[in-house]
Amino acid sequence: MRVLALHPDVLVATSAIWQTNCVVVRAPTDARGGEALGGEGGHETFVVDSPVLPDELDALPTLLDQARFPAPSGLLATHGDWDHLLGPLAFAGVALGCAQSTAERLRATPGAAQRELRAFDERYLIERPRPLALGAVQALPVPGRCGLGERELELHPAEGHTEDGMALWVPWARVLVAGDYLSSVEIPTLGDPSAAPGHSGRPLEDYLATLDRLRPLVEGAEHVVPGHGPVLDSAGALAILDEDLAYLRALAEHGDKAEIPAGRRTAFQRGLHRENAARVGG
């Protein structure tokens, strides 16, 4: 697991599996770099998403301690895919917050994340000390804000990759946690139109709307953290955003014949592209 400090209050831990990013955010420190703002209420940390492997999850509490971050008062998940929901394996008993749409997805598909995790572990012969228990899931209004000490994280809707989700903006650090968007190592992948009753059933249109919504945040960002892949600066993330927009528009028009963005034309990504084309009827 690689660890990178983006800001005195923001760490990124990247899993060896799928380059999955876990982001740790604490309440801002004062100008002297000492005590957190806001008295005792300022000593707060959130852990967003999760690494994947057991030893990586076991290392998270030590990582926070060595970085002098408080133990997390909450966990956040950008969306309901199982590889982003493993925080409770590192911090048992800490509440998990997510978008209202993700909470509804988890309620509609009870046990799905646990089954998918078991299937992954069985395939790669991974043993875990305990099963995944999500515990209390707190639904957060999105768009909205989430308090962290004396500051607030901004929560922005992010749908299209799945039928649920949110991106998080850390305003004092100018860090955008994008969820499974804006990755330089994987193409946009569209959610299953039939995955959730009552959903729009238009993942491509939802994905395009999410990219348009993220653009002003990317323009103002110092760092953009995708769900998978390297952390990007603003210019790099804007380039990926434009490539993804061009790909999705070509997908809508040409289906399977749409060109995959350069640098992401691996055999595996071509398989995802065929799934995308099937979902838009191309």
Q: Using one digit for the tens of pLDDT, what is the confidence trace for 23-69?
A: 999 998 754 344 444 334 347 999 999 999 999 999 999 999 999 99
pLDDT in the model for residue 40:
40
Q: What is the pLDDT at residue 195? A: 57
Rounded Cα gap, residues 110 and 122, in angstroms: 20
- The CA–CA distances, whole Å, from 265 to 1, 34, 161, 235, 272 equal 25, 47, 19, 22, 10
Q: How far apart are CA 152 and CA 148, in angstroms?
A: 5
Q: Hey, where are the domains in the chain?
A: 2-279
Sites in the chain below the pLDDT cut of 70: 30-42, 193-201, 282
Q: What is the pLDDT of residue 135?
A: 82
Domain 2-279 fold: Metallo-beta-lactamase; Chain A (3.60.15)
What pLDDT score was predicted for residue 194?
62
Alpha helical stretches, state H, 176-266: 203-219, 234-254
Q: Residue 3's closest CA among 68, 94, 92, 64?
A: 64
Residue 282 pLDDT: 61
* CA distance between the termini of the chain: 38
Quote the tokens at residue 97: 């917050």
Instruction: Supply the pLDDT for residue 191.
Output: 87
Strand order in the sheet with 166-170: 144-148, 151-157, 166-170, 175-179, 223-226
pLDDT reported for residue 43: 76
Sign of the dihedral defined by the CA atoms of residues 228, 231, 233, 234, in that order: positive
